[in-house]
Structures are given as C-alpha cells and as structure tokens.
C-alpha cells in the first residue's frame, strides 16, 4: 500500500477535513457483466437503493440476490466546496469486498484488490469544485486461488456465477465500511510510527514521522504527547526521536491508559498539517512459555469472532461494536482474535480504550482446497498439497501485500499484541516451508514494534507433521475434540485424544506458549436435553468443561479463545443449521446457557493464570 496522507485514520483537525459519504446509495447487480460496455461508469441507470456501509446480500428476499457472485455497482452524489480546490482531495473507503473500481464524473481514478483494508482514490483533478459530483463504484466478490480469502468461482448451467469458498463463513460483500471525503494539505503527514519501551519505572516512546513534501520545501516536524486530561507531558522537534515520558501510566489489560500523540508540520511557523494517534505505553514479549505484557505474564481469556450481524452481514456497525465489547466485559474476557481478516478500524480503537488484547489476523483463510477437504484430511481420507499449486507465486504476492498493509494500518494500536498470518492452512508439505518463511519474514520486517507472529493450526497438523509451527513465536491450536472428532457419547475418548496430542506437543520441547484459538461445539439455543446430546445447550457446556480440564493440566497452555463469540452466517449445508451455531451468544447477542458457565470460569482465572509465580 503506497503511503499517502489519506490512509491515516480519517480525522478532522485544523489542517484536515473528513466528511462522511455514508447513506443510501443507488445499487445494481450487473447480472450480465455488461456494466462497463453499457457505460454505467457515467451512471448506473435504473437502480435499487441500499445502505452504505453494509453487506448487500441480506436486504433482499430472493435467493439469486443473496447468493449473487460477480460485478455489482454503487452510485451516489457528493459536493466538494470551492475552498477545497488546491488541496489534496480523496475519497477514502474503509473497504470494498473483495475488489473495487472507482469512477468520479465518469473517469476511472482508482482500483483496489482486497476486501478488508482501506484504500483512497485521489479525485483532486476530477472533482467539480463548488458543485455536484457523481461517484460510481464497481465492486466484485468473485473468489479465486490467487486472492484472499481463497476459493473459486464456478458457472452454473444457466450462466450465473457461483462462489465456492474454501472457508466456512458467508461470502458477504459490498461497500462494508465507511466512505469519507477527505481534504488534506499538499504538504502532509503520511505516517507515524510509535515504539514504546519500558525500563523499570521509566518509559520511553520512540517516534518517526513520515511526510509528503513538495520538492525543495523546508518544513519542521513537532511532536506533543498529552495525557488523558489533555495536559502536555512532553514535546519534541524533529521527524524522529525518543521521548522520555515522565511519571508514566502504563496501558494494562482491562485497565487502559491512553496518551494522545500529536504530530504537526510547520513552515516558518505556519501550521501545514496535524494528525494524532491515541497510544498506550506497553510492551509485548514472548519469554519461554510465557506471554508477557509490560514484563508480566498474561493468560488470554477470550474469543474468536466475526464481523457478522443480522441484515447488515459483515457491515460496519458501531452499535454491534459497542454491544460486543460490553458482552466481553460482562463475561470476563480480556482478548479476541480478528478471525479471519482485519476488522474495521473502530474495533481496534475500542479495544485500545477498553484494554483488550487483540491477535490481528490477515485474511489468509482457505489455504486448503475446500473446507470439506480439510475435514476429510482430519478423518484420514486424503491430503491436498495446497502449496504445490501453479498459482502459488501470485497468491504469495497477494498475501505479502495483505500482511504489510494490515501492519501498516494497525501497527500503533496498543491493543494489538500479535499478528496471525494464516488461519488453518495446509502446512504439512515441504513446499509450505518457503511460503511460510516469506510471510513470517515480511511481518517481522513491516512491524516497528516487532510483535510476536503466529498462525492458527488446523486439526490435522500435528506435532510430527506441522512444517509451519517452526516459524511461530507462539502456537495457536484450533481443535474440535468432542465435536468434529469423537463427539457426543465419545466425549470421554475425545478428552484422552486431546491429552495425547498435547503430550506429543510437549515432547517437541518447543519452549513456546500454546493457546487454543478455537474449540467448542454447535448449539441450538432452544434445545435442552437430559442426558445431553450434540447440539443441546447442555452438551455445549460439557464440551467446554472437557476442554478446560485439559487446558488446566498443561502449564504451557497460556490462553483459551473459544469458538465463537456469537453465532454467524455460513453457506448452506446439512452440517450447518442456518449458519455456525458455536456462539456463546446468539447472533442477536443474547447469552446461551454456556455464557453463564464461561463467565464463572473467566472470572475465576487471574490475569496471570499459570505464570511461573503461580505454578
């Protein structure tokens, strides 16, 4: 992602203006794939209306619209004030899933691939200042083996396209995150990197300001750090430096303290640009089998999640963000993984404020031929060597860019304590090794704070077969003993099988923390059964209890993130009851019986559970 001032989180300041373009836009499915030929870039013609931001699928009542795969078009009008002329003017998209082409007043001005990260379209030369402008976006949600998340697109007998995901969540798409019109100065801040350091009771903040400066222009960078009361605690001049923070307040688990870091550019005393980041003083370190925050051991208690809700699909919703954090606080959680893609930026801002620990995950899910093939491999039926494919070089290029762009966006969030670079890839073939090395190296090179790196290990990948775990700073296991494997009346056998596997990992002497990033059981929130059966609320609790007994027996297990926070939508199938029902909460964010059990467990475990001082 090319660094521009527009890719920083959009804030209005004395030098910048950010105006929301969200609202009801025109919308049209391009069922014939003829939109370009028919000139829709100049206006999409007869159209429906649809909210932006949101996924488009669940607003419609016919299956063809919900399952639509191909091009789709949006249109709206916006006004650019005349005083914006001479500035850098952009339209910034929080995301367009999975790819988008942007037209302003009939001219193509930007293309972007990747549906979970922001991009900006420079409209300065195409805008009509002091008048109305037409914005048209052509989106596309087709899946392939060279883009993330991975899947394929097929053709049905009647000519319609169909998405075939290699992942187990619904392929929601559209303009799913906010759209803003930005007016920025020509000489501008394009990036700010922050690296906190602690030494005893002292704290330092290393900073680096990057700028876009017109040739030969002299300017001065200044930095100010303010406490939560708005008082300046330290100031500095220069684009790079290290600041000593007096009487530092640390950012802690569920006890967050945020400093506001202002970066400003001046020329001869005149303010050219300013932008701020709210930052916390905290360090993250892996030492042996412990995860340390500010030098103290922490045990992760949390969830795998999805951005998923009724009607809006994967669309941005501040209401759901607020509710989710309140539920996580109620249940005693301290962490979550952004399975299986980077979330909206506002989620991280909330995590920063609330003191939650985030494993930030790239959209690298589906690095297997199909979910069914993954399950077949678990059952010993076959093995698909994904990393032998001819399309691998192009996929790797896409993957590297996704990782680099994710880190560029999220690198300053104190809540982000680790990068997850894959979810459940096929990692047992020798050909996986160079691919994994390239991705893990890119993450290390991209992150100024050098956070730990990991990936979620699929169930078939075992201590003696995994080729990817050698690169992880800590090991994340997705395991479904008692559900997909040895479920129901075989749950006692499942417990022994899980213990046997963990004994195998222990014998590897990896000297790394292990965490369970997925475990659990599907549950119909209305089903009760005594004695329990699979899908009953009673069985979900029994499955959780079984897993927790095992976790508690191994000192190197340093975290548990149950799958999943809430029920979520998937594709249709006889193994799914209108979606994945492993949620501790329903899709409407109401507790199942397991929520009360889990609340008792989470509240009973100290934040430093299993630290060496407690063992």
Task: Report, as residue numbers or ranges, the catalytic residues.
Answer: 424, 518
Peptide bond into 340 cis (omega under 30): yes
Rounded Cα–Cα distance for residues 186 and 147 (Å): 34
Tokens of 555: 């000192």
SS3 for 32? coil
The CA–CA distances, whole Å, from 500 to 234, 493, 495, 505, 554 equal 54, 11, 9, 9, 12
Rounded Cα–Cα distance for residues 297 and 305 (Å): 24
Q: Which candidate, 275, 271, 207, places its Cα nearest to that of 239?
A: 207
The CA–CA distances, whole Å, from 79 to 22, 101, 105, 123, 553 equal 13, 20, 12, 12, 62
Q: Which candidate, 62, 122, 124, 39, places its Cα nearest to that of 87?
A: 124
Residue 431: phi and psi, rounded to 5, are -70, -15
Rounded Cα–Cα distance for residues 420 and 335 (Å): 14
The CA–CA distances, whole Å, from 428 to 381, 433, 455, 458 equal 15, 9, 14, 10
The CA–CA distances, whole Å, from 435 to 370, 559, 581 equal 19, 27, 33
For residue 296, the cross-strand partners are: 293
**How many C-beta atoms surround the C-beta of residue 485 within 10 A?**
17
**How many C-beta atoms surround the C-beta of residue 285 within 10 A?**
15
SS3 for 342? coil
């Amino acid at each position: 992602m090319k660094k521009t001032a527009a890719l920083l989180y959009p804030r209005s300041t004395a030098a910048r203006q950010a105006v929301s373009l969200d609202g009801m836009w025109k919308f049209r499915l391009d069922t014939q794939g003829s939109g370009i030929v028919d000139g829709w870039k100049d206006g999409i013609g007869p159209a429906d209306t649809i909210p932006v931001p949101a996924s488009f699928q669940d607003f419609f009542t016919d299956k063809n619209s919900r399952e639509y795969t191909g091009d789709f078009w949006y249109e709206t009008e916006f006004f650019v004030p005349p005083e914006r002329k001479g500035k850098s003017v952009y339209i910034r998209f929080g995301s367009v899933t999975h790819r988008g082409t942007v037209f302003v007043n009939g001219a193509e001005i930007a293309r972007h691939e990747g549906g979970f990260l922001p991009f900006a379209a420079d409209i300065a030369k195409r805008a009509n200042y002091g008048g109305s402008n037409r914005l048209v976006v052509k989106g596309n949600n087709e899946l392939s083996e060279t883009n993330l998340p991975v899947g394929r697109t097929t053709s049905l007998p009647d000519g319609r396209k169909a998405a075939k995901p290699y992942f187990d969540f619904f392929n929601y798409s559209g303009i799913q995150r906010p759209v803003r019109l930005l007016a920025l100065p020509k000489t501008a801040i394009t990036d700010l990197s922050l690296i906190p350091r602690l030494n005893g009771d002292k704290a330092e903040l290393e900073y680096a300001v990057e700028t876009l400066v017109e040739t030969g222009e002299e300017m001065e960078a200044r930095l100010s750090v303010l406490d939560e009361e708005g008082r300046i605690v330290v100031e500095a001049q220069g684009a790079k430096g290290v600041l000593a923070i007096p009487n530092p307040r640390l950012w802690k688990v569920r006890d967050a303290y945020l400093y506001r870091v202002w970066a400003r550019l001046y020329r001869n005393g005149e303010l050219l640009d300013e932008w701020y980041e709210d930052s916390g003083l905290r360090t993250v370190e892996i030492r042996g089998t412990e995860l340390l925050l500010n030098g103290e051991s922490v045990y992760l208690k949390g969830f795998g999640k999805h951005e998923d809700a009724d009607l809006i699909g994967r669309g941005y919703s501040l209401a759901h963000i607020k509710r989710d954090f309140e539920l996580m606080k109620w249940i005693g959680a301290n962490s979550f993984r952004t399975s299986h893609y980077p979330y909206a930026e506002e989620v991280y801002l909330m995590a920063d404020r609330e003191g939650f620990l985030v494993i930030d995950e790239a959209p690298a899910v589906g690095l297997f031929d199909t979910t069914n093939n993954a399950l077949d491999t678990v059952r010993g039926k076959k093995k698909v060597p994904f990393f032998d494919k001819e399309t691998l070089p192009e996929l790797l290029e896409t993957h590297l860019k996704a990782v680099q762009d994710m880190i560029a966006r999220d690198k300053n969030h104190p809540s982000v304590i680790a990068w997850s670079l894959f979810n459940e890839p096929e990692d047992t073939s020798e050909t996986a090794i160079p691919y994994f090395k390239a991705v893990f190296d890119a993450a290390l090179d991209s992150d100024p704070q050098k956070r730990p790196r990991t990936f979620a290990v699929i169930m078939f990948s075992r201590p003696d077969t995994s080729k990817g775990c050698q690169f992880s700073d800590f090991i994340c296991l997705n395991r479904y003993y008692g559900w997909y494997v040895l479920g129901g009346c075989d749950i006692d056998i499942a417990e022994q099988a899980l213990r046997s596997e963990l004994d195998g990992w222990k014998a590897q002497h990896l000297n790394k923390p292990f965490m369970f990033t997925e475990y659990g059981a599907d549950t119909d929130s209305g089903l009760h059964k005594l004695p329990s059966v699979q899908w009953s609320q009673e069985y979900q609790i029994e499955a959780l209890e079984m897993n927790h007994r095992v976790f508690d027996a191994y000192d190197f297990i340093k975290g548990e993130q149950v799958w999943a926070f809430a029920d979520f939508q998937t594709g249709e199938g006889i193994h799914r009851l209108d979606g994945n029902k492993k949620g501790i909460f329903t899709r409407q964010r109401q507790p199942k019986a397991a929520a009360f059990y889990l609340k008792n467990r989470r509240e009973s475990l100290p934040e430093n559970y299993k630290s060496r001082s407690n063992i």
